[in-house]
Structure 1
Amino acid sequence: MTEMSLFRWVDCCITDDNVPSTALPVEHKIAHLPHNGKTHCVHNYQILCLNHFKWVSDHDGRVQGAVKTGSNKNGVPLFLGRVFHEGSWIVGMINPRYDTCFYPYKGKSLEANKHEALVGHFYEE
């Protein structure tokens, strides 16, 4: 199993005033949004596309070049992150104010201080 097969797509969910990032299993055609301690199913989302990207350890919430996926209702920027949980990588959102990655797991929104941020490298044509 390759790293890319661990999640199919990364997306932004559009809800009220915030735009958090989540993992999207293609076969279900819904996004899973970690918010307020629960996982919510969302049908209104945008697929993110990058030319090149890599995962970088994030210990202080300030990874240069981290992929911003939106902001919460207070205007705090949210970034794409992932955590290693029970043998698998799970994609979630990093809130730099708390240096925490929030991620969906079995219907709940969990959080981890040890996480990685997705860093994008865009090529000019």
Structure 2
Amino acid sequence: MSVIQLETEDRLEYNFVPNNAGFVQFRVRAANDAHIALTTQAAECDPMYEIFIGGWGNSKSIIRKNRTKPDVAEVPTPGILNPNEFRGFWIRWQNGTISVGRENEVPPFLSWNDYEPVNIEYVGVCTGWGASGSWVIEPPRGGPGGFGGAPPSNYTQPRSNFSSVCWAPSRGGQVPPRAFAGGEDNGEPLYVIRAQFNGALIPGKLVPSHGTGYVAWGGNENAVPEYEVLCDFPGQWIATSGGNIPPNALTAGQSEEGEPLYIGRVVHDGALTVGKVQQSHGVCYIPYGGQELSFPDYEVLVQ
């Protein structure tokens, strides 16, 4: 099936197309409130996810489930839509994680982990709150339930080193099967995680005996009771320094400003501790002893 083009009125009524591929890419031209529904059938129903891009007067974007408040994820996105030009986006749903990103950008600007995942079969789009919209929806890769056929030449997905790895939602110190151990502290394995914190998606460490994960941010070691664990990952560690990031480094998150974050580790105080690498800062930050510590020499995780 070819690219789908739709016009949506200012009516908040979804137009549904089948898609169980786990990914959709689209372009939309609207002044505000581009709404996307991920559902089990071609109708508004429970369970259902909704993503509002450019809501509240084109000032923020949110994810909600089953049309209930409060919204489960929210991020400021002033001016993200434009009534005079198409803006491209992608949405991915995998292992209970809903991620929303801009076209040709790897890290999502909005994401949320659902510990009771929904089996998505349809994608719906609509506009409202004073806005109409023009949509161009790309077909997902062929397969059961998808549109079938080869994708068009201008179809792009987030880079494989971000989208193809497995991030399993977890909480409370629980370790999913085949979790990737990236460090060690006093004989206890430390697992590679990432978590939402203060508008950023930050790589960090899971210490199972503490019942929580930790991420470095704002000068502190911050506990995160809910997180995603890297699983089934065949990668390796490469020694580097400063802002020298190998091209095959695993992109695992983004700063609150949208800069990609990578997974790094260092030996400190006898522990091999996992943290985040922010290229523009030229260091690896680790959460340790209640603090955010920085190191110019570190190892970075690649695949």
**In the aligned structure 2, how far is the partner of 1:78 from the partner of 1:50?**
20
- Match among 215, 224, 233 for residue 33 of structure 1: 215
Residue-by-residue CA offset, 1:102-122 (whole Å, 9 max, x unaligned):
0011100000001010112xx
CA deviation after TM superposition for structure 1 residue 17, in Å? 1.7
Contact 1:61 1:95 in 2 (8 A): no
Name the stretch that deviates more: 53-62 or 109-118: 53-62
Letter in structure 2 aligned against 1:110: L
Question: In structure 1, what is the Cα distance between the partners aligned to 2:251 and 2:209?
Answer: 25
Distance apart, 1:61 and its partner CA: 3.1
Q: What secondary structure is seen at the aligned counterpart in 1 of 2:201?
A: coil
Which protein, 1 or 2, shows the higher relative CO under an 8 Å CA cutoff with sep ≥ 6?
Answer: 1
CA contact (8 A) 2:203 2:215 kept: yes
Runs of 4 or more consecutive aligned structure 1 residues displaced over 2 Å after TM superposition: none
1:99 counterpart (277, 282, 299): 282
- Structure 2 residue aligned with 1:67: 250
Distance 2:277 2:190 in 1: 19
8 Å contact kept, 1:61–1:94: no
**C-alpha distance in 1, partners of 2:182/2:282?**
25
Q: Tell whether 2:195 aligns with 1:13.
A: yes
Displacement of 1:4 after TM fit? Answer: 5.8
Q: TM-score, normalised by structure 1?
A: 0.85
Identity %: 25
Q: C-alpha separation between the residues in 2 aligned to 1:12 and 1:27?
A: 18
Question: Number of aligned pairs?
Answer: 118
Residue deviations 1:11-40 (CA, integer Å, cap 9, x gap): 001123201111101233311111111111
Cross-structure match for 2:233: 51
User: Which is further off, 12-21 or 77-86?
Assistant: 12-21
Note if contact 2:215-2:224 (Cα within 8 Å) is conserved in structure 1.
yes
Q: Partners in 1 of 2:240 and 2:250 — Cα distance?
A: 12
CA distance in 2, matches of 1:64, 1:52: 17
> What's the CA shift string for 1:52-108, capped at 9, x where partnerless?
111101223321211111101111000000011123211100000111100011100
Task: Report the RMSD for the aligned CA atoms in angstroms.
Answer: 1.7
Paired position in structure 1 for 2:115: none
In structure 1, the gaps of 5 or more residues are 121-125
User: Matches of 1:88 and 1:13 in 2, distance apart?
Assistant: 21
Is contact 1:61–1:97 with CA below 8 Å preserved after alignment?
Answer: no
In 1: Cα distance, 2:258 partner to 2:228 partner: 19
Q: CA, structure 1 residues 13+111, in 2 after alignment: closer, same or farther (shift >3 Å)? A: same
171, 190, 204: which one pairs with 1:22? 204
Deviation at 1:43, TM superposition (A): 1.3
CA distance in 1, matches of 2:203, 2:264: 8
SS of equivalent residue, structure 1 residue 97: helix
- For 1:104 and 1:92, locate their aligned partners in 2 and report how far apart those are by CA, in whole Å: 6
2:261 alignment partner in structure 1: 78
Distance 1:5 1:94, change over 3 A: closer
